[in-house]
Chains A and B, each alone.
Chain A
Amino acid sequence: MNSPLDSVVLLQIGPVPITHAVVTTWAIMAVLVLGAFLMTRRLDLRPGKPQAALELLVSTLDTQIRETTGAEPAPYRGFIGTLFLFILVANWSSLLPGIDPPTARLETDAALAALVFLSVIWFGVRSGGVGGYLKSFAAPNPVMIPLNMLESVTRVFSMFVRLFGNVMSGVFVIGIVASLAGLLVPIPLMALDLLTGLVQAYIFAVLAMVFITSAVNEGAHSPEVPASSPSEKDQ
């Protein structure tokens, strides 16, 4: 059986090996970008069906961001929405025969988590300045500086392992059941996988939003805590 931790090198461009997951990622990116471009090319005040669906999606995202952070969604909509949509499409791409979801590989999830790590710094610095962001490490008191620095890395790492583990275990279990029992038996498991994929995409986006909000709030020294956010401390 193939190890779920290795990645299959598909082709080589110069010195850079291109793995299977990277090619799938490119395909998903192309589909998302082209789809977004085609659907927003002719926007109308009286929306047709595709535009109505798109508006529903965007307004749902906005509502979720507003409920999680208590802030206006505009600066975060692009990043969080893209994260959510990409992970969702990537998780569900396992439904197409012959395609492994790229989120079931270590490198894709590591890249997504690194993006979240950088965006926390970016939004934190943008709201409170470099000094404000650095000072947020010394809250509630300077003894916590090493712990806060450690936490900012470990919480992102835990996001990465969570997404990888959940998607990979789904693919792995389906593979085992299909090899043991036969062709049509894993269908209920695949249905469960759809739910897991949706929930994991949602959680990744919500956690990214919560981390960004905490950096923004601490940097700006406004102690208000968002009302309905899940716990910021992540285990």
Chain B
Amino acid sequence: MDYPAIASIFCAAFAVAFGALGPALAEGRAVAAAMDAIARQPEAANTISRTLFVGLAMIETTAIYCLVIALLLLFANPLLA
């Protein structure tokens, strides 16, 4: 059996699965807060949505990092080289 390969595939799946949890919750909270703010102050919608987009992309980055780690494990694994 090729244990390092199997372990890295499992780790890649776990990295993406658990790495997506936090950003998903955080994005939900961010969008909810922005909706709340726009509902209270519709005239500030432009600024709020611009900041929201930047913030969402920042939050999303943590999930993207996990994806990059998973791809490193799958395609450029130092243990299997």
A203 to B71, CA, bound (A): 24
User: Chain B, interface size: which category?
Assistant: 10 to 19
List chain A residues, Cβ under 8 A from B55: 230
Q: Inter-chain contact count A-B, CB under 8 Å?
A: 50
Which has the most chain B C-beta neighbours within 10 Å: A3, A165, A169, A228?
A165
List chain B residues, Cβ under 8 A from A165: 61, 64-65, 67-68
A166 to B54, CA, bound (A): 14
A150 to B60, CA, bound (A): 23
Supposing A3-B75, A5-B76, A161-B65 touch, asked if A200 and B57 sit within 8 A by C-beta, the answer is yes
**Tally of A interface residues using CB under 8 Å:** 21
Which has the most chain A C-beta neighbours within 10 Å: B53, B54, B55?
B54
List chain B residues, Cβ under 8 A from A228: 47, 51
Secondary structure dominating the interface of B: helix
Residues 67-81 of B, flagged 1 when their CB comes within 8 A of A and 0 if not, give 110011001100000
Secondary structure dominating the interface of A: helix
> Is residue A162 within 8 Å, beta carbon to beta carbon, of the partner chain?
yes
Nearest first, the 5 closest Cβ-Cβ pairs linking A and B are A165-B64, A3-B75, A230-B54, A162-B61, A203-B57
Please report B residues at the A interface, Cβ cutoff 8 Å.
47, 51, 53-55, 57-58, 60-62, 64-65, 67-68, 71-72, 75-76
* Sampled A-B contacts (14; CB under 8 Å): A3-B71, A5-B75, A161-B61, A162-B57, A165-B61, A166-B57, A172-B71, A199-B57, A200-B57, A202-B53, A203-B53, A206-B54, A234-B58, A235-B61
